[in-house]
A and B are shown apart, each in its own frame.
Chain A
Amino acid sequence: MKSSHGMNALPARADAPVVEPEVAALYVHIPWCLSKCPYCDFNSHAARTWPEAEYADALLRELRHRSAEEGFAGRRFSTVFFGGGTPSLFDPRTIGRILEGVARGPDLDPAAEITLEANPGTVTEERLRGFRSAGVNRLSYGVQSFQPDLLLALGRRHSVEDSRRALDAARLAGFDNLSLDLIFAIPGQSLAACEADVDEAISHGTAHVSAYALTFEPGTAFHRERAAGRVRQAPEELEVAMFELVRGRLRDAGLEPYEISNFARPGLEARHNQAYWRGTPYVGIGAGAHSFAPLDGRGGGGDACFGRRWENVRDPGRWMDAVRERGTGIADTEALGRREAMGETCWLALRESRGLDPTAFRLRFGEEFAEAFPHATSLVSDGLAAWRGDRLVLTPRGLLLADAVFSTFF
């Protein structure tokens, strides 16, 4: 059965293996921001000063420690992502020192995609040149909106002008691989305002856009405000309309939807993020960073282990102490059983427009996808998923109900 809509128009790359055997992704967490946004549940801490040099030392120490471990040893980093927090608050020389360390330490692909998250209010052309010469070749701007009132509602520190200047400055500084983040379904946002944001985003001609529906995450100020009735979530119908508008407009402008919230000109997808969805190993260093290593289930121990996930200590000071003492700031380790790993493989793959490849599934788990998850036929007959070629993809309706579909893989 084929999807009659052209929403998933990105050609499936049948030649791309699910896990390239020799590569890994590197995530570097920079935990500080000048202020905490009310919707943010990331591990970020508002601060005016931070121990940048010590933090960078600890990052490199943890990297050397982790990259020698099972699942990571001998791999070459093909992507690096500086996330936060606000990594653009760091001195470009510090970022340079970290990247040199990565190149010296384990291994860094000379063609690696190296992304830095930046807030428009924190950069100048000069600083951007610094990041560029430090080795960063991709910028991801937290623009969020081009409407002053919505930036205010989101508690952002930057102005619309800051965003425009920052996008121009990036080009002047030599960045041609640019991404910008948008948020929609903001309390008080109209469909017209959403349209204006998408249109302006398109007008900047970036290679990549991430557009997220606002989520009220537990523990955030917005979550509390909503519970208290002071902030009202956008009505579902409006959110659906925005979701469809954003997807349609960006696709029409040549930014293909390749994941639920991500859009790119073909060939300029965020390779780092694809690593997360495709089960590529990744090492996360820094406070609260996460790591993952897929395993083949043949390791020792009682239950066969098909993967391992790690979470670092969230508090920056305590993470640095831990690294000084033991070389790594791991707080928690989780082993994935066979069934968990199978389910995870499926729903992560379905987030991407290219969908799930049953052959890769069989190669990884030694079991046919159709036998492991026979209910997939009813997802298809219910119009939530469809076979496109030999891959299973979500239909437009399935996309909107993705979590409900995903929960059937547990």
Chain B
Amino acid sequence: MDTRRIRNFSIIAHIDHGKSTLADRLLERTGAVEARQMQAQLLDDMDLERERGITIKARSVRLLYRAKDGIEYVLNLIDTPGHVDFSYEVSRSLAACEGAILVVDAAQGVEAQTLANVYLALDANLEIVPVLNKIDLPSADPDRVRRQIEEIIGLDASDAVLASAKQGVGTEDILERIVTRIPPPGGEAAEPLQALIFDSWFDPYHGAVVLVRVMNGVVRKGEKIRLMAVGRDYEVTRVAVLAPSTREVAELGPGEVGVLSASIKEIAHAKIGDTVTHAQRPAAAPLPGFKAVKPMVFAGLYPADTGQYEALRTAVEKLKLNDSSFSYEPESSIALGFGFRCGFLGLLHMEIVQERLEREFGLNLITTAPTVAYRVTLTTGEVLMIESPTKLPPAQNVSLVEEPVIKATIHLPSEYLGGILKLCEDKRGRQRDIRYLGENRVMLVYALPLNEVVVDFYDRLKSVSKGYASLDYEFEDFAASDLVKLDIRINGDVVDALSLIVHRERAYMRGRDLAAKMRELIPRQMFEIVIQASIGSKVIARETVKAMRKNVTAKCYGGDISRKRKLLEAQKEGKKRMKQVGRVEIPQEAFLAVLKVDQ
């Protein structure tokens, strides 16, 4: 295919600024989908994505558009996930594009989430086409938002398209702008094959399927291909495009986007960012930017009802088929019984996995506080990776504990600088860089211990900056740290599932806050409950939940008996949502109390 007829682009937008609606309009206008067949917001096809209004996995769709110049163009709309946990995936999707449409709500203006992706797009040298959406709203103020885009992002927005995706206004203009403003892809058909994998998923009939953007060369059915990072060879069994339904094609050449099936058995072998080349005539080098994605955050997932363990095992196995960034291994807890220690990219990823397990598999789960993987050197010289606080060896056997440190890049309006600097310092951050980008914008670079970030950093960043700060992070290195295990004891017994690894200097505060929070979360029971935070045998905080003194319905006569029985049954049901540790009923949310400690 003539690359001059191809345009590859993505849409960047804040969570409810109309990305999905705009995508729907583009699909409709180009006839990819008949309006009446359309399920609203077609691109986000998982229920969960639709509900949360976020895109978890990237998808793409191929559109045909006859422009005003009379030529029919192939437009590949490449969707991107929209959260800090997935910034690597976003960067690979953007690497498959030459341009991006920046959708900004003409009433609300630029918001933080947009910024992180705009910066990624600018880093990837994409041509950015600004669109002011929702101009039909009475509160729309295009002039103000234009100026904002110029000031905050430094992008000329004087000719931004005025659109209302909801009402179909401006769709034609946007399509024309894509054709005229976004450059066609480069690449040579004669060169050795280089195709970038920017998404993959598991299909029960085809195995792991990869979504690729061809940079150089041509790929056809029946050819032997090699996935360069994993070094495995496969035979292509199908070459197709998503238009949006899967349609087989003879080949994919430079600039084209499509899916390859090659009987890849494991999703772990279809890595995002990897390069597909030919086994016979491989490219000299893979495409730049590949990173092996590893889980950064770990938490125990346990069935609330211990009888659901086998069901949970089946569920995590199935989930893993489709999610290479998720990991799991069996774990057991004295308090919670049998479960799994699971690894996630970040907190949102963890929440999504938990919700999918509960919703799609009908499980009722208890999640323990998220932690990171520590590198522990024993006095014997042996080095262990510790992903669970309960596995931390006794202090006398440990010579060194190292914790993962991330490089966090934060963009923020300068008015919030003070608050955010304080937050980073509170979180044991080390400043690497501070730079003014124009009058009101600041970029901060901090080295931050990941264990501080997984607790509540992102939420606090948003609250300190009223949502205007954006965060992007990557793993940097392990660094030695003075870390201790903080235990929570309930009526004297350590509840293993509540243990945490914290910095020694923070331990006292954290222990006190946590014990106080537990006191709020554990309902009064028929006896007094003592909650203690301790380091080793040293108690650093103590709270009590007083015994319930009175719980009796005064009246119970003829008509009340059924109603009363239902109330008593409800009390019993409420207890089922709790976990009995020793004699104490602990509500599920208490196991995540560490995330809810107000600072």
Contact = CB atoms under 8 A, between A and B. Distances in A.
Interface of A: 27, 42-43, 212-215, 236-237, 239-240, 243, 260-261, 273, 276-277, 282, 284, 288-292, 309, 311, 334, 340, 343-344, 347-348, 351, 382, 384, 399-404, 406-410
Given A290-B562, A344-B565, A403 B557 contact: no
B565 A399 contact: no
Given A347-B568, A384-B526, A410-B569, A403 B552 contact: yes
A50 B49 CA distance: 58
Contact of B572 (A282, A291, A407): A407
Given A212-B555, A288-B559, A406 B549 contact: no
B548 A401 contact: yes
B37 interface: no
A399 B551 CA distance: 9
B556 interface: yes
Contacts of B549: 236-237, 240, 400-401
Residue with the greatest number of chain A CB neighbours at <10 A, chosen from B555, B558, B569: B558
Contacts of A400: 549-552
18 contacts: A212-B555, A236-B549, A260-B556, A261-B555, A276-B557, A343-B565, A344-B565, A351-B556, A384-B526, A400-B549, A401-B526, A404-B526, A404-B551, A404-B571, A406-B568, A407-B569, A407-B575, A408-B572
A271 to B, nearest CB: 13
Contacts, number: 96
Contacts of B569: 407, 410
B58 to A, nearest CB: 47
Contact of B558 (A282, A343, A401): A282
A240 B558 CA distance: 26
Interface size class of B (residues with CB under 8 A): 20 to 34
Given A212-B555, A407-B575, A410-B568, 20 more contacts: A42-B559, A43-B559, A213-B552, A214-B554, A260-B553, A260-B554, A261-B555, A276-B561, A334-B562, A340-B565, A343-B565, A344-B561, A347-B568, A402-B552, A403-B553, A403-B567, A407-B571, A407-B572, A410-B565, A410-B569
Interface of B: 526-527, 548-559, 561-562, 565, 567-569, 571-572, 575
- 7 pairs of A and B residues whose beta carbons are closest in the complex: A290-B559, A212-B554, A402-B552, A407-B571, A410-B572, A213-B554, A403-B551
Nearest to B556: A351
Contacts of B557: 273, 276
Nearest to A283: B558
A351 B552 CA distance: 10
A292 B561 contact: yes
A116 B559 CA distance: 17
A122 B556 CA distance: 26
A410 B575 CA distance: 11
A261 B550 contact: no
A215 B555 CA distance: 9
Nearest to A243: B550
A292 B565 CA distance: 14
B559 A284 contact: yes
Nearest to A181: B555
Nearest to A27: B558
Contacts of A384: 526
B572 A215 contact: no
Contacts of A261: 554-555
Contacts of A406: 568
B550 A236 contact: yes
Given A290-B561, A382-B526, A410-B569, A401 B551 contact: yes
B552 A260 contact: yes
Nearest to B559: A290
A289 B559 contact: yes
A59 to B, nearest CB: 16
A208 B572 CA distance: 34
B566 to A, nearest CB: 10
A407 B578 CA distance: 15
A43 B559 CA distance: 10
Given A406-B568, A407-B571, A276 B553 contact: no
Residue with the greatest number of chain A CB neighbours at <10 A, chosen from B551, B552, B565: B552
Contacts of B551: 400-404
Nearest to B574: A407
A276 B564 CA distance: 13
Contacts of B567: 403
A373 to B, nearest CB: 13
A351 B553 CA distance: 10
A403 B565 contact: no
A276 B548 CA distance: 28
A409 B568 CA distance: 9
Contacts of A402: 551-553
B447 to A, nearest CB: 48
A344 to B, nearest CB: 6
A309 B526 CA distance: 32
Contacts of A408: 572
A292 B561 CA distance: 10
A284 B557 CA distance: 12
A288 B563 CA distance: 13
A243 B549 CA distance: 11
A276 B558 contact: yes
A260 B555 CA distance: 8
Given A382-B526, A384-B526, A407 B558 contact: no
A43 B556 CA distance: 15
Contact of A240 (B550, B554, B568): B550
Contacts of B562: 290, 309, 311, 334
Contacts of A409: 568
B556 to A, nearest CB: 6
Contacts of B572: 407-408, 410
A399 B526 CA distance: 12
Contacts of A214: 554
B571 A403 contact: yes
Nearest to A382: B526
Nearest to A183: B554
A195 to B, nearest CB: 19
A292 B558 contact: yes
Contacts of B555: 212, 215, 261
Given A276-B557, A289-B559, A401 B552 contact: yes
Nearest to A217: B555
Residue with the greatest number of chain B CB neighbours at <10 A, chosen from A212, A215, A277, A406: A406
A261 to B, nearest CB: 5
Contacts of B561: 276, 290, 292, 309, 344, 348
Contacts of A401: 526, 548-552
A400 B548 CA distance: 9
Contacts of A284: 558-559
Contacts of B575: 407
Contacts of B527: 382
A400 to B, nearest CB: 5
A239 B562 CA distance: 26
Nearest to B527: A382
Given A410-B569, A410-B572, A404 B548 contact: yes
Given A239-B550, A344-B561, A404-B551, A276 B556 contact: yes
Contacts of A276: 556-558, 561
Contacts of B553: 215, 260, 402-403
A351 B555 CA distance: 10
Contacts of A344: 561, 565
Contacts of B550: 213, 236, 239-240, 243, 400-401
A237 B555 CA distance: 20
A33 B463 CA distance: 54
A340 B575 CA distance: 18
Nearest to A404: B551
A311 B567 CA distance: 17
A158 B542 CA distance: 52
A110 to B, nearest CB: 24
A173 B320 CA distance: 83
A215 B548 CA distance: 17
